[in-house]
């Protein structure tokens, strides 16, 4: 077991009540490393989606702006643009060739989130989709750095819309949401300081602001310039995350660890550094893996190149996430299906991934215990 059930010591029994069939699936090697993919027979349920949907699980790497669908973008355009987007035009924005193109598409979406009502709409629709997939908790990145740098406006009024949606989601859907204020690394430390200090300032009034992170283009800025800001955020009681090793080598992951990141987004390139793999396994650093995201941005060229299965087999604390589901034509349920159908994960493996997501969350211990017990009893 991958460091599971620190809070509840249980032995998971195989899921019952499903007919099974034999199928041939890839056992993938890591991005650019290891041996060629091999094929192994595995046992899968006839109706894996039912089991996946019933798994109580958390999503830990999800960008609010990346949940805005073309249909919602058309609605937002109608609120703000003199000439409203057509649906085909909105869909065209979601097509791009590489990571740089993705960043431009993401920017186009954020430009249409201009008011508290816009953020409330985006957050509520996100919550509805999450609840429909069996997600019971999500820790959502919000691109506060983009608001400050591109929009040049204050964030607090916009945040009130998100909070309205969060409270409604908890009341009506039983879904809890935490917010992670995300800075853009290539905007520089001064801009990140504004984001992190705003999170610290607002947290006493809004405990749902749980942490901070840095996203953006690693190829332009590493983690080291943010060391002092991470220490300051930790002192303020904020939890620390970082996108790391998505578009650069293992040095990006080492850098994030060195400044105190507790949880790592993507971490694709760890597979190329055996020492780093050992550290991640020993310390059980949670990894927020996003398979469809990495394929759509070209960070991984083929599904069989993704290190998901090798990380899992090596004992790393792996979680599955959708990142920007509207932009990547995926969602968390689909990521679990990919794990089962392309990476030979059994139902018990999927249960373990769901357990990892709860353990790796920033939820209080008692809430983790409650969800893990539900996972244990699921058949």
- The per-residue pLDDT for range 129-152, each reduced to its tens digit, is 999 999 999 999 999 999 998 777
Whole-number Å distance between alpha carbons of 3 and 346? 18
Query: Considering the entire predicted model, what is its pTM?
Result: 0.86
Is the pLDDT at 6 greater than 70, yes or no? no
- Give the residue, 49 or 39, on which the prediction is more confident: 49
Instruction: Let me know if residue 12 belongs to a domain.
Output: no
| Predicted confidence band of residue 23 (pLDDT cuts 50, 70, 90) | very low
Among 75, 218, 246, 304, the active-site one is 246
pLDDT band at 192 (very low <50, low <70, confident <90, very high): very high
Residue 196 reports pLDDT greater than 90 = yes
In this predicted structure, the answer to whether residue 7 has a pLDDT above a threshold of 90 is no
* Whole-number Å distance between alpha carbons of 37 and 31: 11
Higher pLDDT, 34 or 101: 101
More confident site: 23 or 191: 191
Q: Are the beta carbons of 187 and 107 closer than 8 angstroms?
A: no
Which residue, among 362, 328, 352, 288, has the nearest Cα to 139 in the 3D structure? Answer: 362
- pLDDT reported for residue 111: 87
Is residue 198 one of the residues assigned to a domain?
Answer: yes
Rounded to whole angstroms, how far apart are CA atoms 248 and 212? 21
Asked whether residue 29 carries a pLDDT value surpassing 70, the answer given is: no
CATH assignment at residue 298: 3.20.20.140
* Average pLDDT score over the chain: 87
Q: Mapping DSSP to helix (H, G, I), strand (E, B) and coil, where does residue 364 land? A: coil
| pLDDT reported for residue 19 | 29
The confidence band for 45, taking pLDDT boundaries of 50, 70 and 90, is: very low
List the one residue out of 376, 313, 378 whose CA is nearest residue 345. Answer: 313
In a domain, 4, yes or no: no
- Extract the tokens encoding 90: 């909105």
Look at residue 8 and tell me if it is in a domain.
no
pLDDT at 212 over 60: yes
User: Is 66 a member of any domain?
Assistant: yes
Backbone torsions φ then ψ of 177, nearest 5 degrees: -130, 135
Q: What percent of the chain has pLDDT over 90?
A: 73
Between 133 and 74, name the one with better pLDDT.
Answer: 133
Q: Is the pLDDT of residue 249 over 60?
A: yes
39-43, 286-290, 340-344 — which is least confidently predicted? 39-43
246 counts as catalytic: yes
- pLDDT bucket at 31, cuts 50 / 70 / 90: low
pLDDT at 105: 79
The pLDDT value recorded for residue 18 is 25
**Could you tell me if residue 2 is inside a domain?**
no
Domain boundaries, position 183: 20-377
Find the DSSP H helices in the chain.
48-54, 70-80, 87-92, 99-110, 116-132, 144-146, 156-173, 189-202, 227-235, 250-258, 274-283, 291-296, 308-313, 325-328, 332-343, 347-359, 365-377
* Higher-pLDDT residue of 280, 216: 280
- Token pair of 342 as six digits: 């392309």
Strands 209-215 and 176-184 come out as parallel
Q: What pLDDT does residue 36 have? A: 31
What is the average pLDDT across 283-310? 95
Residue 368 is predicted with a pLDDT of 98
Q: Which helix (H) or strand (E) holds 40?
A: strand 38-45
> Domains in the chain: how many in total?
1
Judged against a pLDDT cut of 60, whether residue 44 lies above it is answered with no
| Percentage of residues in the chain having pLDDT higher than 70 | 87
Secondary structure class of 259 (helix, strand, coil): coil
Q: Is residue 213 included in any domain, yes or no?
A: yes
Task: Say if residue 3's pLDDT is above 50.
Answer: no
Provide the pLDDT for residue 47: 67
Question: What distance in Å separates the CA atoms of residue 100 and residue 110, rounded to the nearest whole number?
Answer: 16
DSSP annotation string for 296-340? HTTSSSSGGG--HHHHHHTT--EEE--BSHHHHT--HHHHHHHHH
CA neighbor of 179 nearest in space, from 148, 208, 146: 208
Tell me, yes or no, whether 1 lies in a domain.
no
Other C-beta atoms lying within 10 Å of the C-beta of residue 365? 9
Query: Does the pLDDT value for residue 161 go beyond 60?
Result: yes
């Amino acid at each position: 077991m991958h460091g599971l059930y620190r809070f509840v010591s249980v032995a998971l029994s195989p899921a019952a009540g499903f007919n099974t069939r034999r199928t041939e699936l890839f056992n993938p090697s890591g991005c650019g490393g290891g041996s060629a993919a091999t094929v192994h027979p595995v046992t899968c349920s006839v109706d894996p989606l039912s089991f996946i949907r019933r798994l109580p699980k958390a999503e830990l790497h999800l960008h609010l702006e990346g949940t805005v669908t073309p249909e919602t973008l058309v609605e937002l355009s109608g609120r703000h643009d003199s000439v409203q987007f057509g649906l085909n035009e909105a869909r065209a924005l979601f097509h791009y060739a590489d990571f740089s193109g993705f960043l431009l598409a993401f920017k186009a979406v954020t430009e249409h989130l201009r008011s508290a009502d816009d953020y409330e709409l985006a957050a509520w629709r996100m919550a509805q989709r999450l609840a429909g997939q069996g997600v019971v908790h999500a820790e959502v990145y919000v691109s506060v750095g983009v608001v400050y740098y591109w929009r040049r406006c204050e964030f607090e009024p916009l945040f009130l819309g998100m909070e309205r949606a969060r409270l409604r989601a908890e009341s009506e859907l039983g879904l809890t949401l935490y917010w992670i204020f995300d800075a853009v690394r290539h905007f520089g430390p001064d801009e990140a300081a504004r984001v992190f200090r705003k999170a610290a300032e607002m947290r006493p009034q809004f405990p749902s602001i749980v942490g901070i992170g840095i996203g953006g283009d690693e190829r332009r800025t590493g983690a080291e310039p943010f060391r002092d800001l991470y220490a300051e955020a930790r002192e303020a009681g904020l939890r620390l995350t970082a996108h790391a090793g998505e578009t650069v080598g293992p040095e990006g992951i080492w850098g994030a660890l060195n400044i105190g990141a507790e949880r790592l987004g993507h971490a694709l390139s760890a597979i190329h550094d055996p020492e780093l793999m050992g550290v991640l396994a020993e310390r059980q650093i949670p990894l927020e893996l996003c398979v469809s995201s990495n394929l759509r941005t070209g960070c991984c060229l083929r599904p069989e190149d993704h290190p998901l299965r090798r990380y899992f087999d090596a004992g790393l604390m792996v979680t599955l996430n959708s990142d920007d589901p509207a932009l990547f034509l995926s969602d968390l349920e689909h990521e679990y299906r990919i794990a089962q159908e392309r990476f030979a994960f059994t139902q018990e493996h999927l249960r373990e991934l769901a357990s990892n997501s709860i353990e790796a969350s920033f939820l209080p211990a008692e809430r983790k215990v409650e969800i893990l017990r539900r996972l244990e009893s699921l058949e």
